[in-house]
């Protein structure tokens, strides 16, 4: 005869531990959403078009979340139409603009995207997070 408690599964034994695991899963999930570039936000149809272009062309260098720096290109959320037209179509900066990566000239031009600049600008503005 023994009065030691019978061993049970770690989850059954500890509701706190189960809660901790679930909480961690929720955190991870939120992190993944944040990395995918504000997928939770509702985008206008124009911005959605811009997103499709951005997520296929630009993320080779820029972060999938335009609020964050990418492997090669800097964060560019909130980039204006004027800035996009200059750097994406002509490979230059608007007069008086202070580049985030001064002196770098690594970004190729995409002249064929000229008609899509308003869509890209809409996306990069709608996806922009307020700076903390
Ligand atoms: C081959 C890599 C590459 C690709 C592809 C690329 N970029 Fe860039 N981008 C860069 C780099 C590097 C910079 C930093 C300046 C430079 O080197 O020209 C930059 C800078 C920028 C800037 C200026 C940021 C600032 O405020 O100084 C914007 C805006 C931008 N990119 C938007 C885009 C968009 C939109 C696309 C897709 C159509 C795109 N980029 C595709 C590499 C890239």
Q: For residue 105, what is the domain's CATH number? A: 1.10.760
- Residue 35, classed as helix, strand or coil, is helix
pLDDT band at 39 (very low <50, low <70, confident <90, very high): low
Q: Could you tell me if residue 132 is inside a domain?
A: no
Ligand 1 centre and the CA of 25: distance in Å?
A: 34
Q: How many CA atoms lie within 13 A of 35 on its CB side?
A: 7
Rounded CA gap, 106 and 128, in Å?
Answer: 24
CA atoms within 13 A on the CB side of 100: 16
What pLDDT score does 115 carry?
A: 98
Burial of 81 (0-12, 13-18, 19+ CB in 10 A): middle
Residue 38 has pLDDT above 50, yes or no: no
| Structural domain containing residue 114 | 10-126
Q: How far is the CA of 60 from the centre of ligand 1 (A)?
A: 10
Residues 43-62: tens digit of each pLDDT: 999 999 999 999 999 999 99
Helix (H, G, I), strand (E, B) or coil at 132: coil
pLDDT for res 132: 72
For residue 57, is it within any domain? yes
Average pLDDT across the chain, whole number: 83
Q: Which residues line ligand 1 (CB under 6 A)?
A: 54, 57-58, 60-62, 72-74, 76, 79, 83-84, 87-88, 99-101, 104-108, 110, 113, 120
- Is residue 5 a part of any domain in this protein? no
- Measure the CA–CA gap between 39 and 11, rounded to whole angstroms: 33
> Is residue 17 over pLDDT 90?
no
* Residue 103 pLDDT: 87
Tell me if 3 is assigned to some domain: no
Neighbours of 31 (CB within 10 A): 10
Q: How many residues does the chain have?
A: 132
**Hey, whose CA ends up nearest to atom 28 of ligand 1?**
76
Please state the domain count of the chain.
1
pLDDT interval class at 14 (50, 70, 90) = low
Confidence (pTM): 0.76
């Amino acid at each position: 005869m023994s009065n030691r408690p019978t061993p049970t599964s770690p989850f059954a034994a500890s509701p706190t531990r189960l809660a901790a695991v679930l909480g961690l899963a929720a955190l991870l999930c939120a992190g993944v959403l944040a990395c995918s570039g504000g997928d939770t936000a509702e985008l206008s149809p124009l911005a959605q078009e811009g997103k499709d272009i951005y997520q296929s062309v630009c993320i080779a260098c820029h972060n999938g979340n335009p609020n964050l720096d990418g492997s090669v290109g800097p964060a560019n959320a909130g980039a204006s139409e004027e800035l996009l037209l200059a750097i994406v179509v002509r490979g230059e900066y608007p007069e008086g603009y202070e580049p985030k990566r001064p002196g770098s000239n690594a970004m190729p031009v995409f002249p064929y995207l000229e008609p899509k600049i308003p869509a890209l600008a809409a996306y990069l503005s709608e996806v922009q997070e307020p700076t903390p």
